[in-house]
Amino acid sequence: MAAGFLLADLFDDGDPQDLEPDAFDRHRGKLAEEAAALYSEADRYLDHELSQEAEQSASNALALFRQLGDKQGVADSLRVIVSAYRIRNEVSQAVHRTVQELERFREREDKLGEAAMLLTLAEIQNEQPGRSSDALKSGRQALAIAQQLGNRILEGFAFLALAEAYGSSPAGAASVRCDQAAQVARASLEAFRSQEGQKKGEGKALHALAHAASLGGDVPEALRCSMEARALFRELELTLLEAAELQSMAEWHRMLKDHRQMLQDAEESLELFRRSEQQDGECSSLRLVIGAQCLCGHHDEALRVAEDALQRFREKDYKRGQAIALDQIAASYFAMNRASEALEAALEALDLIRSLKELPHWEAVLMQSIASLYLSAKRYEEAGDVAQEALLLLQSLGDRSGEATLRLNVLVHVHAAVQDYQDALKSASEAADIFRDLKDRKGEGTALLLAANIYRTVGYLEEADVWLKEAKNIFQDIGERKLLAQVFHGLAKVHISRKEPEEAVSLAYEAHALCKRCRDKPAEAGMLLFAVEAHLSVVANLVDRGRTRGSRELDEQLLKAQKAATAAKKIAESMGDQHSMADALYALSEIYLVSGKYKEALATAEEGIKIYQAVGHKLGECTAFNMKAQALMVAGWTDEALVAAKGALEMATSMGDKTLELLAQDIIDKLTGVGFAQQLPQQHPQQQSRHQPQQPEPSVPEPPPEAAEAEKPKGLDLSMVGDTLHSMLHQMIGESMELDTPFMDAGVDSLMSIEFRSQVNNTFTGLGLSSTLTFDYPTIRELTGHIVDKSKTH
């Protein structure tokens, strides 16, 4: 039936009012049936995202409903027409039509039409970045009118719009937004359930409840609601809604670390979208499938899926899909540590996006990814150039939130990588200012946290402390537990730098408790490993204060460190996270080495090496090889230690990691006689080092005999110093030592070495003795001569 069809056209002669009342009613009834059929047809087209067909049928229905004076039919038809615009991303047309119809309804004092258009406006605003506050305003106005009219279905949709707006609003505490979103989602569910034939609305309300639950950290409840919604959509044969709900379920399974189930849900969603030939949905599911494959460790399969999708989209000449497939190919290569191939795929995706000339926001996001790839490849100049280009694009689009995010995620790290800390702090501060202007407190707190970490890196501990405490207040106010845990982690590191490790231990466990409440297993394991670092810092502090092995305080700290590392290992095992497992083994190896359990230290280091090799983590492998070398060295297996240290040096050199390179070379120097002795293991590079590498103090050359006899400078008595050192070592190891026996050969392990160094410094004060003196002068004779020589210059 044509859009301009008139009621009078049903009759061959004269005005329909000339007919008998019964005849007129029958024909009016037929017209109403035709209008209802057209509307139902339009709604079905809309469910399958056939926007052109939906718009045409809804326009025909609209003309009939207007002739009939059916206000509900007019409002519903207009909502379908605007939804068709939205499916085609014709936002300006959608807004123009909605506002135009809203003004007409208000002029006619048609409250039902006004409420419908206010609701439609709220839905459009929810889809636009930074418009959640506008969506809340429009949605509340629509809800008030719907409740005044007693229209429960319209009420249900208004509650749905409010649930989405609360869920995406950056303002206010996360816990409050979660409660508000859940409250209106439940009200929507109740409204739809009170009406017959509203199962689709019921499913949408359950979807909203799932997202509200996830916002509050209750992922199991989110999964339950999504599964119930999916069952409804499947029953109604709403394929696209079912596919979209499967995407949500995949995301909840990802958050629950059930990567296999995540993969199954994502693959089902992908298949449904493909069957429906809905390419945008297919692209979204493709991202989830490849992400799940990577999380399951199936990197080759992830790459295959992405390449198959690329070929499929090329055959269909679907350039947007090609760009997404290339983006996922880049992600797969990056997960496989094939950075150059990842960069090549990402650059090709960028060229495609630019050729479309209609996706500037996506172009900016992709440029950010490319900058991050350059950053990971240590190509800092190129990373900075691409990031600046993306920044200009975001500024031209007026996307201030995107601008702030780019500053935090890329520019800060680029500046810090080249040690341009002033510009790094400037970028973080500018991001904080933008987020503050946008009333995005989570973003503001994140920027403060990152700036504080930079201050700590350069040694400005007071400034770091101030910024961390400001971020802490924000995250506590908005109920953001995960980031609050990161703040406690940062504060703990400040305390370690201040040599206040006891406070660091307390904060480490506070951070761990927050991660546990958030059910964030990876973060929980990470905080336990940081607690190990804090406990070992306490050990070093106790030794410096004169505590010796066997003391209650020292043994207690080592036991607590071992328990924390073991707990982290169990969490990693439960998640099947091989990387975290290797990190926990490294921590245990460090604890065993400090405790003098060399066989256990060696065994755990070797186990960690195998896992790092299996997952292709070169940095971890190199660090664990250094640990193995140290364990072999203090156990007296010199040749094996030298092989391990040389292997670590080769890996560090190939990666360009100067810190690990220096550590490996230092071990080699000690093993080859440049200063052979024991030392405490260095901290894992994923954590901040507790003991910065110190250069050995150069030895003072002994004067020629004739000069010594001529001048005989005043200094400590050689015999007195030697006897004192003999006595210290006898008490420590329980037997006398020869003058030229290396400390290690006499049984002085790494922990004893720290104890001995502390006693020597406390006994011979004022000489400016190096903290590495037991490494550089590894026998009683050498150390005695060094102390006497130093005393002559002080």
One-letter-per-residue 3-state SS of 632-669? HHHHCCHHHHHHHHHHHHHHHHHHCCHHHHHHHHHHHH
- Pick from 661, 666, 623, 606: nearest CA to 642: 666
Report whether 182 contacts 213 (CB < 8 A).
Answer: yes
- How many alpha carbons fall within 13 Å on the CB side of residue 726? 12
Counting Cβ atoms within 10 Å, is residue 14 exposed (0-12), middle (13-18) or buried (19+)? exposed
Counting Cβ atoms within 10 Å, is residue 437 exposed (0-12), middle (13-18) or buried (19+)? exposed
Distance separating alpha carbons of residues 764 and 751, to the nearest angstrom: 20
Counting Cβ atoms within 10 Å, is residue 174 exposed (0-12), middle (13-18) or buried (19+)? buried
Distance separating alpha carbons of residues 612 and 607, to the nearest angstrom: 9
Distance separating alpha carbons of residues 229 and 240, to the nearest angstrom: 13
The mean pLDDT of 133-143, rounded to a whole number, is 93
CA 737-743-748 angle, to 5 degrees, is 100
Q: Which residue has the tokens 């946008």?
A: 438
Listed in sequence order, the DSSP H helices in 336-440 are: 339-356, 360-376, 380-397, 400-406, 412-417, 421-437
> Which CA distances in Å does 571 have to 280, 531, 567, 583, 712?
37, 15, 6, 12, 65
Of the listed ranges 303-307, 692-696, 726-730, the one predicted with least confidence: 692-696
Distance separating alpha carbons of residues 793 and 769, to the nearest angstrom: 12
Of the listed ranges 359-373, 651-665, 765-779, the one predicted with least confidence: 765-779
pLDDT, one tens digit per residue, over 467-519 is 999 999 999 988 888 899 999 999 999 999 998 999 999 999 999 999 988 87
Q: What is the greatest pairwise CA distance in the chain?
A: 141
Q: Which residue would you say has higher pLDDT here, 752 or 424?
A: 424
- Pick from 791, 786, 615: nearest CA to 702: 786
Say what the pLDDT of residue 62 is: 93
Say what the pLDDT of residue 745 is: 64
Residue 282 has pLDDT above 50, yes or no: yes
Q: Which residue would you say has higher pLDDT here, 85 or 750?
A: 85
CA 649-652-653 angle, to 5 degrees, is 85
Reported confidence tier of residue 694, pLDDT bands at 50, 70, 90: very low
Say what the pLDDT of residue 702 is: 34
Residue 608 has pLDDT above 60, yes or no: yes
Q: Which residue would you say has higher pLDDT here, 129 or 316?
A: 316
Distance separating alpha carbons of residues 589 and 606, to the nearest angstrom: 9
The pair of structure tokens assigned to 178 is 């979660």
Cβ burial 649-683 (10 Å sphere, 16+ → b, else e): bebbeeeebeebbebbbbbbebbeeebbbbbbbbb
> Which CA distances in Å does 228 have to 208, 332, 393, 709?
12, 33, 42, 95
Residue 15 has pLDDT above 80, yes or no: no
Domain boundaries, the chain: 718-792
> Which CA distances in Å does 586 have to 85, 126, 664?
57, 47, 16
pLDDT, one tens digit per residue, over 401-451 is 899 999 999 999 999 988 888 999 999 999 999 999 988 889 999 999 999
The identity of residue 174, as a single letter, is A
- Pick from 378, 446, 440, 437: nearest CA to 409: 446
Share of the chain above pLDDT 70, in %: 85
Residue 688 has pLDDT above 70, yes or no: no
The pair of structure tokens assigned to 260 is 């296999």
The pTM (predicted TM-score) of the whole model is 0.66
Distance separating alpha carbons of residues 666 and 674, to the nearest angstrom: 9
The mean pLDDT of 684-696, rounded to a whole number, is 33
DSSP string, 1-43: --TT--GGGG-SSS-GGGS-HHHHHHHHHHHHHHHHHHHHHHH
Reported confidence tier of residue 754, pLDDT bands at 50, 70, 90: low
Reported confidence tier of residue 738, pLDDT bands at 50, 70, 90: confident
Report whether 489 contacts 530 (CB < 8 A).
Answer: yes
Distance separating alpha carbons of residues 257 and 21, to the nearest angstrom: 68
Q: Which residue would you say has higher pLDDT here, 762 or 440?
A: 440
Residue 174 has pLDDT above 60, yes or no: no
Distance separating alpha carbons of residues 343 and 333, to the nearest angstrom: 9
Distance separating alpha carbons of residues 734 and 696, to the nearest angstrom: 29
Report whether 302 contacts 290 (CB < 8 A).
Answer: yes
Distance separating alpha carbons of residues 185 and 163, to the nearest angstrom: 6
Report whether 195 contacts 150 (CB < 8 A).
Answer: no
Residue 697 has pLDDT above 50, yes or no: no
Reported confidence tier of residue 176, pLDDT bands at 50, 70, 90: low
Residue 749 has pLDDT above 70, yes or no: no
Give the CATH number of domain 718-792: 1.10.1200.10
CA 104-108-109 angle, to 5 degrees, is 110
Residue 681 has pLDDT above 50, yes or no: no
Distance separating alpha carbons of residues 728 and 456, to the nearest angstrom: 38
Say what the pLDDT of residue 18 is: 53
Share of the chain above pLDDT 90, in %: 56
CA 467-525-684 angle, to 5 degrees, is 75
Report whether 242 contacts 272 (CB < 8 A).
Answer: yes
CA 486-400-255 angle, to 5 degrees, is 40
Say what the pLDDT of residue 387 is: 95
Say what the pLDDT of residue 634 is: 85
Residue 682 has pLDDT above 60, yes or no: no
Distance separating alpha carbons of residues 670 and 783, to the nearest angstrom: 16
Average pLDDT score, the chain = 84
Neighbours of 494 (CB within 10 A): 21
Contacts for 733 with CB less than 8 Å, ≥ 6 apart: 746, 747, 748, 752
Of the listed ranges 415-419, 553-557, 716-720, the one predicted with least confidence: 716-720
Say what the pLDDT of residue 24 is: 55
Q: Which residue has the tokens 């983006």?
A: 327
pLDDT, one tens digit per residue, over 188-223 is 999 999 999 999 999 999 999 999 998 887 889 999
Reported confidence tier of residue 712, pLDDT bands at 50, 70, 90: very low
Say what the pLDDT of residue 323 is: 92
The mean pLDDT of 36-63, rounded to a whole number, is 92
The mean pLDDT of 113-124, rounded to a whole number, is 95
The identity of residue 354, as a single letter, is R
Note the residue count of the chain: 794
Say what the pLDDT of residue 12 is: 40
> Which CA distances in Å does 387 have to 347, 368, 373, 390?
14, 6, 11, 5
Distance separating alpha carbons of residues 737 and 634, to the nearest angstrom: 18
Q: Which residue has the tokens 């999916």?
A: 230
- How many alpha carbons fall within 13 Å on the CB side of residue 731? 10
Residue 173 has pLDDT above 60, yes or no: no
The pair of structure tokens assigned to 406 is 């780019």
**CA torsion through residues 574, 575, 578, 581, sign:** negative
Say what the pLDDT of residue 763 is: 72
Angle, helices 598-615/618-635, rounded to nearest 10 degrees = 160
CA 35-115-135 angle, to 5 degrees, is 120
